[in-house]
Every structure is written in C-alpha cells, then in structure tokens.
C-alpha cells in the first residue's frame, strides 16, 4: 500500500533528484511570499524628541494589538525623551561658564546631540519591533531611516534626493533592506577653506542608523577627495554631492552601487 506522502511525491521522484531538490527550495519561498502578501500595512506616526516620527510595518494586527503597539512605541520614545532632557541639562551646564558664547556654541552642540538621539531612537524602535516578531518595518525619526525586512514583493524603495540641495539628473533610488540611510548637509563652518570642489552634502548607508549617522558626521566635515578616499578604503556605501567649477557633481563609492536601482 502506498502512503499519501508517497503518492504525493511520486511525480517528483520520476522527475529525478534535480527536480525534487528544486521543489524543496521553491516551496518554502512560495509559502513565505504568500504569508507576507497577507500581512497588512500599518502606519504609525507622531511627534517626539523635538521632531516627527513615522513607522511603516507589515503585520497581522487586530485593533487591540495596534493599541498595544502604539503604547509601546510611545513608551520607548518617552524614555529617550527623558534621557535627552538629562543630556541637555548637562550640556547647558557645561557650556554656560564665563566667556563662553552660550547661544552659538550650545546651539551647535545641541543640534549634534539631537541627531545622535534620533539615530539611537531609530535603532531602538527597530530592535523593539523585531523583539515583538515584526520582521518587516521602516522606521524614520527626524529624517534618519532604517529598514528591516521588506514589504510584499520588493525592498523598501527610497529616493536619494537630499533636502536643501540642488536637484540633479542623477536622482536615482536605492533598495533598502536590513540597513539604515542618513542624509547630512556639509558643515562649511568647520570644513577646510579651499578654492577647489566644495562638499554640499553626504548620504551614508550602513547596518545601523547610529553607524550611518557617525560616518555622515565625519564625512560632512572634510574635503570631498578626503571623504571619498576614506569611504572607499573602508568599503562604505557613500554618496557625496559636490559643487565644482563645472557645476553639481555626484560621486558614489563602489559599495553604494549594489544598493542602487538599475
């Protein structure tokens, strides 16, 4: 007597081992795709940490599940808000001594602290969602973005257009999956003075938002040739926008090319 399982795979056996192995590989992929296509898109947004946040995720959530999720997100952000307040008090104390230009110096430092905290918030929220079993999410806080997994059918498709910079013909998009993206304008006040090409902005893609933010901070403060040399030597996914005598130029490292759309 032939079992149900034997009858079910008899045709595969006749097709040979290659066909059998092919089906073993394709079946899990098909099941995974079908499951992901049934997940509903969820949008959550609000204001925290002195900026806005936006979260897109794919999960099978009921009304009560969504309420719990929103409460948890607010709790994570509230904790970071308290930590931010403590840091700001320390910074104001440190830069309020005699002879220190408080409004100018502390403003620059506070801006950097906010960027650091926004990146930390993105990483914290992404990790928290993963702990809940949510494998497909896009988290953005203050312009810092991190993707986990992918939406049904494709990776997260994001523009490389940089707010505050001139538009360029090479406005390609990236497919972001399990990585972070940070845009940053160049800080000309701290950059070396030169008559050559001038850095306008930098985009960095890395595994985490904190790492991408750290790289973008340093690269935005050096000359374009130094930025490209360092990014290339460290195999970093970086795009810089440069103004030269010929106009606006876009320079990509080889590591970034694999993220770009064809």
Residue-wise pLDDT for 112-165, tens only, equals 888 999 999 999 999 999 999 999 999 999 999 999 998 887 789 888 876 656
Enumerate the β-bridge partners of residue 58.
Answer: 41
Q: Give the lowest-confidence range in 42-56, 179-193, 215-229, 232-246.
A: 179-193
For residue 25, name the pLDDT band (cuts at 50, 70, 90). very low
The pLDDT value recorded for residue 168 is 56
| Structure token digits, residue 74 | 């607010």
For residue 33, name the pLDDT band (cuts at 50, 70, 90). very low
DSSP state of 165: S
Contact 198, 242 (CB under 8 A): yes
The pLDDT value recorded for residue 88 is 78
Q: CA 206, 128, 258: angle at the middle one, nearest 5?
A: 20
For residue 171, name the pLDDT band (cuts at 50, 70, 90). low
| Structure token digits, residue 113 | 């602290």
Contact 80, 97 (CB under 8 A): no
The number of residues making up the chain comes to 262
Percent of the chain with pLDDT over 90: 45
Q: What is the pTM of this model?
A: 0.77
Residues 210-257: pLDDT tens digits? Answer: 999 999 999 999 999 999 999 999 999 999 999 888 888 889 999 998
Give the H or E element holding residue 126: helix 102-131
Collapse the DSSP code of 214 into the 3-class scheme (helix H, G, I; strand E, B; otherwise coil) and give the result.
helix
| Structure token digits, residue 214 | 């750290």
């Amino acid at each position: 007597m032939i079992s149900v399982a034997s009858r079910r795979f008899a045709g595969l056996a006749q097709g040979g081992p290659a066909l059998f192995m092919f089906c073993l590989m394709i079946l899990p992929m098909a099941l995974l795709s079908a499951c992901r296509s049934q997940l509903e898109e969820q949008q959550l947004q609000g204001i925290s940490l002195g900026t806005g946040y936006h979260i897109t995720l794919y999960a099978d959530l009921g009304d009560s599940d969504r309420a719990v999720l929103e409460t948890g997100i607010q709790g994570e952000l509230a904790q970071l808000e308290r930590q931010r307040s403590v840091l700001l008090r320390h910074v104001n104390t440190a830069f309020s001594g005699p002879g220190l230009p408080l409004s100018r110096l502390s403003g620059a430092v506070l801006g950097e602290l906010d960027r650091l905290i926004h990146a930390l918030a993105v990483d914290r929220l992404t990790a928290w969602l993963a702990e809940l079993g949510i494998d497909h999410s896009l988290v953005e806080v203050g312009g810092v973005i991190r993707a986990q997994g992918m939406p049904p059918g494709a990776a997260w498709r994001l523009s490389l257009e940089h707010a505050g910079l001139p538009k360029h013909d090479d406005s390609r998009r990236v497919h972001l999956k399990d990585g972070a993206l940070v845009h940053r304008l160049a800080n000309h006040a701290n950059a070396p003075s030169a008559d050559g090409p001038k850095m306008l902005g930098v985009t960095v893609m890395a595994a985490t938002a904190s790492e991408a933010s750290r790289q973008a901070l340093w690269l935005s403060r050096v000359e374009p040739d130094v930025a490209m040399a360092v990014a290339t030597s460290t195999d970093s996914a970086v795009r810089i926008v440069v103004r030269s005598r010929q106009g606006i130029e876009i320079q990509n490292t080889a590591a970034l090319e694999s993220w770009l759309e064809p």
